[in-house]
């Protein structure tokens, strides 16, 4: 196996220059960098990352914990974070908490034990005691929270305005002429459940409409059971806003079972949209979240913290914009 000294000799460079190239530092000129990279390829040199991390106290690894990897929103976010990390010379390792606090705590413990340089965190929906997250920050490990703001934790965050986005979707349904509009979403002890429900209530209050809200757990099974409950009655809302795509899939299944047509009998709008949904009809009216950008911006912010590029002592709060994509599922006039 080739050594870093052999690479330096082959490239006609110093060992320090080779080390700078391996670290991705911009201090090496393009001509010399190409020589070093060519020598690395020719000698099939593989750096000893374990030894390097012990010497520099940096692993160049980032841990990322997401709450539900089966939700299409999160793989898109992970892709954005991974692309940004690789661009900056870091490796991303992803963990799935399944929205379980104990599983989340174990994942965070592994990230600390493996001495990863930073943490991208999507906290569990029903988040409670957060001592494991405080311990990360007290240990000097940078952390950026994505999508959800943990209660009582002063961390950097990259989020959207869930309340405003939900209100915009409900106002669209109101503008279509719907008088009764239901809401099916997550529980109020969940951060995004509370925020999206608040947006629904704000829009209904502005229009002088009576809210009809049911709360579940953001899973498809929950959306299905709540939709059966809401639409089995002869008299039911003519439109429904659903808090995320997973629940919407359950809602659509229930409406099919009840022979309620979309949008002729029930208009539907939802949070979350993905390109593959356009293969189905009717196409869904949906709040489009910038999942890829959220992961990418979060990773760049985290690495800026790791590399001390970001000197702000106060938490950085980045709020990304959403887009309401209007489609056939909400087009019925009543």
pLDDT of residue 93: 94
Q: In whole angstroms, give the CA distance from residue 302 to residue 96.
A: 19
Give domain 59-160+291-320's CATH architecture: 3-Layer(aba) Sandwich (3.40)
Burial class (CB in 10 A: 0-12, 13-18, 19+), 56: exposed
Domain 162-289+323-330 has CATH 3.40.50.2300: yes
**Joined tokens for residue 176:** 């279509």
Q: Any idea what the Cα angle at residue 200 is, between residues 195 and 206, rounded to 5°? A: 120
Listed range (45-49, 108-112, 255-259) with the worst mean pLDDT = 45-49
Q: In whole angstroms, give the CA distance from residue 238 to residue 320.
A: 31
**Joined tokens for residue 15:** 């060992």
CB 192 within 8 A of CB 161: no
**Prediction pTM value:** 0.78
Query: 144-161, pLDDT tens digit by residue?
Result: 999 988 878 889 999 999
Q: Is 260 helix (H, G, I), strand (E, B) or coil?
A: coil
Q: Is the pLDDT of residue 54 over 50?
A: no
Instruction: Classify each residue of 30-51 as buried b or exposed e, where b means 16 or more C-beta atoms within 10 Å of its C-beta.
Output: eebbebbbebbeebebeeeeee
Q: What is the number of other CB atoms lying within 10 angstroms of the CB of residue 185?
A: 30
E-strand stretches of the chain: 61-66, 91-96, 118-121, 143-146, 156-160, 181-186, 212-216, 239-242, 267-271, 285-288, 317-320, 323-325
Q: Where in the chain is the domain with CATH 3.40.50.2300?
A: 59-160+291-320, 162-289+323-330
Listed range (1-15, 65-79, 215-229, 316-330) with the worst mean pLDDT = 1-15
Nearest to 176 by CA among 330, 328, 282: 330
Burial class (CB in 10 A: 0-12, 13-18, 19+), 58: middle
pLDDT of residue 48: 60
Q: Where in the chain is the domain with CATH 1.10.260.40?
A: 4-47
**Joined tokens for residue 222:** 């929950």
**Joined tokens for residue 295:** 């992961």
- Give me the percent of the chain exceeding a pLDDT of 90: 58
**Phi, psi of 238, rounded to the nearest 5 degrees:** -90, -5
Query: 161-192, pLDDT tens digit by residue?
Result: 999 999 999 999 999 999 999 999 988 877 88
Q: Is 317 helix (H, G, I), strand (E, B) or coil?
A: strand
Q: In what order do the strands lie in the sheet with 212-216?
A: 212-216, 181-186, 239-242, 267-271, 285-288, 323-325
Q: In whole angstroms, give the CA distance from residue 217 to residue 233.
A: 23
Mean pLDDT of 64-82: 92
Query: 278-287, pLDDT tens digit by residue?
Result: 888 899 999 9
Q: In whole angstroms, give the CA distance from residue 17 to residue 29.
A: 10
**Joined tokens for residue 139:** 């240990």
pLDDT of residue 244: 92
The total number of residues written for the chain in this structure: 334
CATH code assigned to 4-47: 1.10.260.40
List CB contacts of 48: < 8 A, sequence separation 6 or more: none
**Phi, psi of 326, rounded to the nearest 5 degrees:** -90, 135
Q: What is the number of other CB atoms lying within 10 angstroms of the CB of residue 316?
A: 14
């Amino acid at each position: 196996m080739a050594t870093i000294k052999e690479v330096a000799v082959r490239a006609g460079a110093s060992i320090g220059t080779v080390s700078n190239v391996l670290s991705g530092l911009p201090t090496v000129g393009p001509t010399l960098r190409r020589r070093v990279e060519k020598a690395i390829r020719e000698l099939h040199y593989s750096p000893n990352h374990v030894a390097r991390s012990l010497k520099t106290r940096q692993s160049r690894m980032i841990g990322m914990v997401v709450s539900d990897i089966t939700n299409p929103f999160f793989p898109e976010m992970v892709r954005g974070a991974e692309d940004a990390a690789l661009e900056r010379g870091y490796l991303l390792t992803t963990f799935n908490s399944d929205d379980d606090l104990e599983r989340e705590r174990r994942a965070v413990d592994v990230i600390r034990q493996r001495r990863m340089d930073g943490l991208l965190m999507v906290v569990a929906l029903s988040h409670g005691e957060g001592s494991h997250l405080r311990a990360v920050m007290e240990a000097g490990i940078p952390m950026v929270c994505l999508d959800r703001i943990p209660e009582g934790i002063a961390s950097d965050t990259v989020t959207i305005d869930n309340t405003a986005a939900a209100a915009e979707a409900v106002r669209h349904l109101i503008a279509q002429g719907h008088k009764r509009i239901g809401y099916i979403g997550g529980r109020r002890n969940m951060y995004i459940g509370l925020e999206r429900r608040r947006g629904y209530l704000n829009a209904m209050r502005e229009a002088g409409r009576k809210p009809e809200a049911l709360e579940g757990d953001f899973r498809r099974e929950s959306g299905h059971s709540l939709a059966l409950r809401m639409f089995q009655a002869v008299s039911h809302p003519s439109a429904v806003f659903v808090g995320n795509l997973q629940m919407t899939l359950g809602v659509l299944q229930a409406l099919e079972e009840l022979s309620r047509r979309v949008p002729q009998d029930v208009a539907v709008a939802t949070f979350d949209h993905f390109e593959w949904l356009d293969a189905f009809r009717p196409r869904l009216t949906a709040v489009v979240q910038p999942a890829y950008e959220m992961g990418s911006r979060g990773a760049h912010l985290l690495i800026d913290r790791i590399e001390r590029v970001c000197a702000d002592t106060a938490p950085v709060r980045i709020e990304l914009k959403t887009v309401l994509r209007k489609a056939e599922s909400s087009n019925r006039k009543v």
